[in-house]
Structure 1
Amino acid sequence: MLLVYHAIADLAVNETQIGIGATGLLTIERKSTKKLIFQTDLTKLIYSDQFIQLKSTLPSPQIYGLGENKSNFTKSTQWELITIFNHDKVMSAPGPRYGSHPFYLNIEDVTTGTSNGVFLLNSNAMDVLLQPEPAITYRPIGGILDMFVFLGPKPDDVVRQYIHLIGLPELPPFWALGYHQCRCCTEPHTLANQKLITERTISAGIPFDVQWNAKEYMEPTFDDFTIDQKRFGGFADWVRHLHDIGMHYVPIVDPGIDPAQKAGQYAPYDDGVSMDIFIKNNTGGIFIGKTWQTSGKTVYPDFSHPGSIKYWTKQYQEFHNQVPIDGSWNDMNEVDNFLSASIYGCPANNSLETPPYLPKQLPKIQDQTLCMSAKQYAGLHYNVHNLYAFYMAIATDEALKTVRNKRPFVISRATSPGQGKYSGHWNGDTDTTYGELKWTIGCKLLDYLV
């Protein structure tokens, strides 16, 4: 499906000439300038179950977007290859990062600013190849070609049209627009040390609105929704103190749940089993991978499951009853898995695990994630991997609305198009260098249009 999108439908018809020639050439032309916005030869389209290839010419080499990948703000049409796949990767290396956004903005004329945009609504892993003609070639490894063309005519018009299609971002609470700090802690990781760091910032006169913590507040097993009472005793009172002085507090929450605790001692696992919430392996058992849990085992809620919001809300409610948190920092939700398989490996001789085409910037399709044959309510992980964080954001957004009865604050490492309706996005793990700072500004500008 190919849709030409404009805020005023009649203008889209009057401004463009759309046609398919006798030779199979599909063209979209801007009438006023005679520029070909989109042109593809349908006789050369490859459309199979696990590989699609479509090439289109570009009106100019000025192209932006196609995130989230470690590359320059302006993409290069000199054979730049971009893999799109939600992926946790060492920051110094090129390749796909935490979000998947197959949308580009193309400046047709740098003098007038006339622009267009194209969005491929496809959740599968893919390569996008930019070529000198200039041209663009899409290579998804599944799904369909559901494409939207935005006519602008100015860059801000294109962005506005795209955002109206995928969903307007949620208005954050006012306090979320202030200064946030997450720095903890010099050894030992204790609440006493955290208090010193927080008070030092306040004493320096820095306008300080929100304190965050990573997993150091958790029990030594690194289990979600737990508190280490030895190292973080008095945690709830401290958070209430932050509220008293006009501040807010946000903890990290990973999707991974520890399956190794004794029955009846860890509700996030017990509830998930009783509600049948966890992602399954190819044989129907619970998929077991590994992240931070010291047990060496991790299971993953299937946030596409209709019962996941009820399940997730219960965990936030019970945690909020202990500590009155104000938001959620969703991490490790690409979804991440240190084993790149289950604890039993991935099925052999399976085309999902060894697809006929592997996107070029991935060492293997399961790298740092689950087996592609893992089963979710919405479908095989092969097809819905890039939507995991989106579903998690929906569940977290709804949980915080219920628990706090206030406008929620959710920040997510992984993203896909439309997720801004439920969460913000942070750029993940970066080194504290000027080079990394430059990269986060340049390559993220259009990536953040989630």
Structure 2
Amino acid sequence: MGREASKKSCCRHHPRLQRYVLQPLLLVVMVAVVVVPTTLVFLRHKAELAASKSRISCLAVDVSESECTSSGCLWSPIEGGAPSCYFPPADTHGYRVLDRTYTDPGIWTLQLGLLDTSAKVVPELKQELVLELTQYGDAMFRVRKACMQIRVPGEERFEPPVPLQLPVPQAPDQELYDVAFSADDVIGQVFTLVVTRKDSGTVIFDSGLGGLTYASQFLQVATSLPSSDVYGLGEHAHASFRHSFASPIVYPIFARAQPPYPGSTTNLYGAHPVYYVIEDDTHAHAVLWLNSNAMGDLFYSINTMGDLIYSKNIMGDMFSSRNIMGDLLHSENIMEAELIPKPGLALRAIGGVMDLFFLLGPAPNSVVQQYAQLVGLPAMPPYWALGHHIGRLGYNNTEEIRDVVSRTRRNGIPQDVQHGDIDIMHHNLDFTIDNDNFSQLPEFVKKIKDEGVKFMTVLDPAINAELGPDYEVHVRGVAGNVYVTWGGDVELPDGGNNYGAGDLLLGHARPDNRSAFADFLRPATQTWWGDEILRFRDALQFDGLLIVS
């Protein structure tokens, strides 16, 4: 479809969006022709909810009927473990389309208004949203909402400063998918985002089941999935790459220093808010939600008896306004996966914007290529970094490290890299050396480097903030304004004194005392960090660094 034809179709029918990339919840949407009447769509959604097939828990698990209904949620106790209190469908909870304009080629802008009947599950639901849908040709499009870039008009919200490799927006020439903003594409209708693969008719995204929730500190959208062959959403330990829907599983998405343990589903070092689906006809797609706030993803699915398998903590108190920050950040009940023949997925975060990228393949390898092209290829490591590394936390002195290298050689085991850890440093202070126990380490490192063995150690971005002028690293950091600080009108700890640290945000990490945290989004911090690394390397000739937390 040419540019003028595409524009005409979007205005008169359902805007058609051609692209393989769907961007998570910052809604940049591509419009498509969907001819199912609105009434029939929502009757189907209501019927599924009533039968417990697609219920998304609303408020806490132990909420009473009066608490549930007074918030605008639906109440209907049912056997089988499904929640009694659950979200209404999109014709009751969410937004309606107030206006839609087509500006530059491939860019649609929607004005959305909150439905008066929306469930008040969190305070201050946003009354107005601006949704921007950007097309990038035939295979990718982006839905941005910043109150869901979708944006709230005039409101600034944090967006990850990630340099995406985006092409120039352009209307597609051949339609690979259809995108509809409402069931019959009429201004004033209830907003739903429905993405359909054109050649097969497969619905790959449908937000109608649970509507759209958008508040200052809570964002949620739910969708049905065309298949239970779902991958991604890391970083967690899994028995297989393919997600299991056999029982409820919680998948938080929030990077932290947590080693993997067998059977654990807790969040680990990385955050990858992207999921991949292999459809029944072997076509594939992926959806990325570009958001760096704490997230959770709830998988839900329907068993052969038509009942959802819910754990007693499927949502915990995450929807409760008093606990939305507490439980969402600190509970393991941020995301659950529950498999049955008709699966679904709820996405939620505690801030930022909804910025959704849809990547439509259609082949599985094409989806991976499109994702790599979008976010950029990984850095090529040096050849030696792919070799045999040895290291651990807990070396007591240089002699113990020397023994490890010697013992490895005596037994004919190849070694390319020897690691130190934070314990080589004075009281766990970054950019220092423990001269009591590791005074010989610099000379030892020079020796093994001459023999072909590289040396690495760690750095922790938590900098001890309570040593005063004795710790020059921190002194230079304060002078350079490199730390994360308390923002806005916040009452500081310690009766407002903040332990003498001004407005620095303090916490406890590896160092013995309270620490300040480097804000690497600031150019000044990047310069300071690089300078400290160079100073440290003058004292210890390491070949690489591992950044830990």
TM > 0.5 between the two? yes
Match of 1:190 in 2: 397
CA-CA distance at 1:91 after TM superposition: 4.9
Distance 1:198 1:311 in 2: 34
- Report if the CA contact (8 A) 1:76-1:130 is conserved: no
CA-CA distance at 1:13 after TM superposition: 4.3
- Report if the CA contact (8 A) 1:258-1:298 is conserved: yes
Match of 1:369 in 2: none
Alignment equivalent of 1:68, drawn from 231, 235, 244: 235
Q: Secondary structure at the match of 1:314?
A: helix
- Report if the CA contact (8 A) 1:86-1:96 is conserved: yes
- In structure 2, the CA distance between the partners of 1:247 and 1:129, relative to structure 1 (3 Å rule), is same
Q: Does 1:199 align with 2:429?
A: no
Distance 2:250 2:423 in 1: 39
For residues 382-428 of structure 1, the C-alpha deviation after alignment (integer angstroms, 9 at most, x for no partner) is xxxxxxxxxxxxxxxxxxxxxxxxxxxxxxxxxxxxxxxxxxxxxxx
Match of 2:315 in 1: none
- In structure 2, the CA distance between the partners of 1:97 and 1:192, relative to structure 1 (3 Å rule), is same
- Report if the CA contact (8 A) 2:417-2:453 is conserved: yes
The one-letter code of the counterpart of 1:129 is L
Match of 1:298 in 2: 515
- In structure 2, the CA distance between the partners of 1:12 and 1:150, relative to structure 1 (3 Å rule), is farther
- Report if the CA contact (8 A) 1:30-1:36 is conserved: yes
Distance 2:445 2:421 in 1: 15
Alignment equivalent of 2:361, drawn from 107, 131, 152: 152
Which 5+ residue runs of structure 2 have no aligned equivalent? 1-26, 30-134, 141-170, 185-189, 302-341, 493-501
Distance 1:122 1:183 in 2: 33
Q: Does 1:115 align with 2:284?
A: yes
Distance 1:257 1:174 in 2: 32
Q: Does 1:217 align with 2:388?
A: no
- In structure 2, the CA distance between the partners of 1:319 and 1:126, relative to structure 1 (3 Å rule), is same
Distance 2:456 2:203 in 1: 48
Residue correspondence of structure 1 range 67-106 to structure 2 within 5 A: 67-72=234-239, 73-77=241-245, 79-89=248-258, 91-92=260-261, 93-106=264-277
For residues 67-87 of structure 1, the C-alpha deviation after alignment (integer angstroms, 9 at most, x for no partner) is 123444322345543221223
CA-CA distance at 1:97 after TM superposition: 2.2
Match of 1:278 in 2: 483
The one-letter code of the counterpart of 1:216 is D
Match of 1:440 in 2: none
Q: Secondary structure at the match of 1:257?
A: strand
Alignment equivalent of 2:439, drawn from 233, 240, 243: 233
- In structure 2, the CA distance between the partners of 1:271 and 1:13, relative to structure 1 (3 Å rule), is farther
Distance 1:63 1:71 in 2: 13
- Report if the CA contact (8 A) 2:138-2:175 is conserved: no
- In structure 2, the CA distance between the partners of 1:25 and 1:233, relative to structure 1 (3 Å rule), is closer
Alignment equivalent of 2:202, drawn from 35, 38, 45: 35
Q: Does 1:164 align with 2:373?
A: yes
The one-letter code of the counterpart of 2:289 is L
CA-CA distance at 1:7 after TM superposition: 8.1
Distance 1:241 1:151 in 2: 53
TM-score (norm 1): 0.67
Match of 2:218 in 1: 51
Distance 1:87 1:243 in 2: 32
The one-letter code of the counterpart of 1:76 is S
Pick the structure with greater CA Rg: 2
The one-letter code of the counterpart of 1:270 is V
For residues 291-325 of structure 1, the C-alpha deviation after alignment (integer angstroms, 9 at most, x for no partner) is 2223x222212212220111101111111011111
- In structure 2, the CA distance between the partners of 1:5 and 1:238, relative to structure 1 (3 Å rule), is farther
CA-CA distance at 1:224 after TM superposition: 0.9
Distance 1:329 1:248 in 2: 13
- Report if the CA contact (8 A) 1:80-1:131 is conserved: no
For residues 103-156 of structure 1, the C-alpha deviation after alignment (integer angstroms, 9 at most, x for no partner) is 0010103xx532111101111112211111311111212221110111112222
The one-letter code of the counterpart of 1:225 is F
CA-CA distance at 1:185 after TM superposition: 5.2
- Report if the CA contact (8 A) 1:69-1:96 is conserved: yes
The one-letter code of the counterpart of 2:418 is Q
Q: Secondary structure at the match of 1:124?
A: coil
Residue correspondence of structure 1 range 269-418 to structure 2 within 5 A: 269-281=474-486, 282=490, 283=492, 285-294=503-512, 296-332=513-549
- In structure 2, the CA distance between the partners of 1:8 and 1:33, relative to structure 1 (3 Å rule), is closer
Match of 1:138 in 2: 347
Distance 2:227 2:350 in 1: 27
- In structure 2, the CA distance between the partners of 1:226 and 1:106, relative to structure 1 (3 Å rule), is same
Match of 1:424 in 2: none
TM-score (norm 2): 0.55
Distance 1:217 1:305 in 2: 29
- Report if the CA contact (8 A) 1:185-1:193 is conserved: no
Distance 2:517 2:394 in 1: 28
Which 5+ residue runs of structure 1 have no aligned equivalent? 333-450
CA-CA distance at 1:223 after TM superposition: 0.7
- Report if the CA contact (8 A) 2:212-2:220 is conserved: yes
Distance 2:210 2:236 in 1: 31
The one-letter code of the counterpart of 1:143 is G
Q: Secondary structure at the match of 1:299?
A: strand
Match of 1:340 in 2: none
Distance 1:152 1:24 in 2: 26
- Report if the CA contact (8 A) 1:86-1:99 is conserved: yes
Q: Secondary structure at the match of 1:199?
A: helix
- Report if the CA contact (8 A) 2:294-2:349 is conserved: yes
Distance 2:380 2:478 in 1: 35
- Report if the CA contact (8 A) 1:7-1:161 is conserved: no
Distance 2:348 2:173 in 1: 28
Q: Secondary structure at the match of 2:353?
A: coil
Distance 1:13 1:104 in 2: 25
Identity of aligned residues (%): 31
CA-CA distance at 1:260 after TM superposition: 2.9
Distance 1:55 1:288 in 2: 36
- Report if the CA contact (8 A) 1:5-1:161 is conserved: no
Q: Does 1:173 align with 2:340?
A: no
Aligned-residue RMSD, C-alpha = 2.4
Question: What is the number of residues matched between the two proteins?
Answer: 325
The one-letter code of the counterpart of 1:99 is G
- Report if the CA contact (8 A) 2:393-2:422 is conserved: no
- Report if the CA contact (8 A) 1:6-1:152 is conserved: no
Distance 1:123 1:61 in 2: 26
Distance 1:131 1:178 in 2: 42
- Report if the CA contact (8 A) 1:278-1:286 is conserved: yes
For residues 144-186 of structure 1, the C-alpha deviation after alignment (integer angstroms, 9 at most, x for no partner) is 1110111112222211211211121111111111111114656
CA-CA distance at 1:258 after TM superposition: 1.5
For residues 353-388 of structure 1, the C-alpha deviation after alignment (integer angstroms, 9 at most, x for no partner) is xxxxxxxxxxxxxxxxxxxxxxxxxxxxxxxxxxxx
Distance 1:156 1:79 in 2: 29
Q: Secondary structure at the match of 2:406?
A: helix
- In structure 2, the CA distance between the partners of 1:11 and 1:200, relative to structure 1 (3 Å rule), is farther
Residue correspondence of structure 1 range 241-260 to structure 2 within 5 A: 241-260=447-466
